[in-house]
Amino acid sequence: MTDQANQALAAADAPLLVSEGLSKNYGARIGCRDVSLDIYPGEVLAVVGESGSGKSTLLGLLSTELAASAGRVSYRMRDGVLRDLASLGAAERRLLMRTDWGLIRQNPADGLRMAVSAGGNVGERLMAVGWRHYGNIRREATDWLGRVEIAADRIDDDPRSFSGGMRQRLQIARNLVTKPRLVFMDEPTGGLDVSVQARLLDLIRGLVSEMGLAVVIVTHDLAVARLLSHRMVVMRHGRVIETGLTDQVLDDPREPYTQLLVSSVLAA
């Protein structure tokens, strides 16, 4: 067996993303403190907590949108080598965001080009990874619009004419069309009607399972965490206070704060 094959075999059971002692300070205010965690291929990790708990800061650090005050984040490249993301150049980081990673934002307008057609939003990601044939790009974009339940005859419409749920589904298509290995999701169902949320969650769950994606999802909604995630991290005041298998944490929480979160949902 070649060295490359050995590396690939070892990487299959190794973490995809690793954070070590990750911290972020905003002057005297702590956004995130000393967070160490692993994310494995095909695993969905939910980060939960109330507003101000540090969960969105953690997502920004893991996705390199924020620079850490301390600690580091490492990512296992396709060659099996775990690399410190701070060591990557700007061009390498941009390529990673266009190929291996996806980022689903809470407000889809922040993750789409609103003046570009639905097909163009999806096609841009394909062009970024080397697709050049217009017909092939359009066919792939049409296929992905169908996969996220957007009618093919809307391909030339711009997202400003779409509902909030359709925009979010378009953002998902834009991010997943390049078959990323890791996707960051920031409150993907926030602000949507309950019926739209349920439909979108079913869609996300199906695509994540089908594609074998690793996902880090930030949510304040424990029902979303239970439906989508395998493992859960509970944050408070910028720290991870509890972690474990999702059902285990929700059904038998150890920490008083987690117990309070769970009981408040049950009482709602």
Q: Where are the beta strands (DSSP E) in the chain?
A: 17-26, 29-39, 44-48, 70-76, 82-84, 101-104, 182-186, 214-219, 231-236, 239-245
Q: Has residue 72 been placed in a domain?
A: no
Give 184-243 pLDDT, tens digit per residue: 999 998 888 888 999 999 999 999 999 999 999 999 999 999 999 999 999 999 999 999
Domain count along the chain? 1
Query: Could you tell me the two tokens for 104?
Result: 């689903």
Cβ-contact 117, 142 below 8 angstroms: no
Q: Has residue 25 been placed in a domain?
A: no
Q: Has residue 143 been placed in a domain?
A: yes
Q: Has residue 154 been placed in a domain?
A: yes
Q: Has residue 148 been placed in a domain?
A: yes
Q: Has residue 67 been placed in a domain?
A: no
Query: Would you state the pLDDT for residue 12?
Result: 56
Query: Would you state the pLDDT for residue 267?
Result: 52
Q: Has residue 259 been placed in a domain?
A: no
Is the predicted pLDDT of residue 5 greater than 50, yes or no? Answer: no
What is the residue-averaged pLDDT of the chain?
91
Query: Could you tell me the two tokens for 195?
Result: 């019926």
**Percent of the chain surpassing pLDDT 90:** 81
User: Domain span at residue 131?
Assistant: 112-179
Q: Has residue 130 been placed in a domain?
A: yes
Give 81-105 pLDDT, tens digit per residue: 999 999 999 888 888 988 899 999 9
Is the predicted pLDDT of residue 50 greater than 80, yes or no? Answer: yes
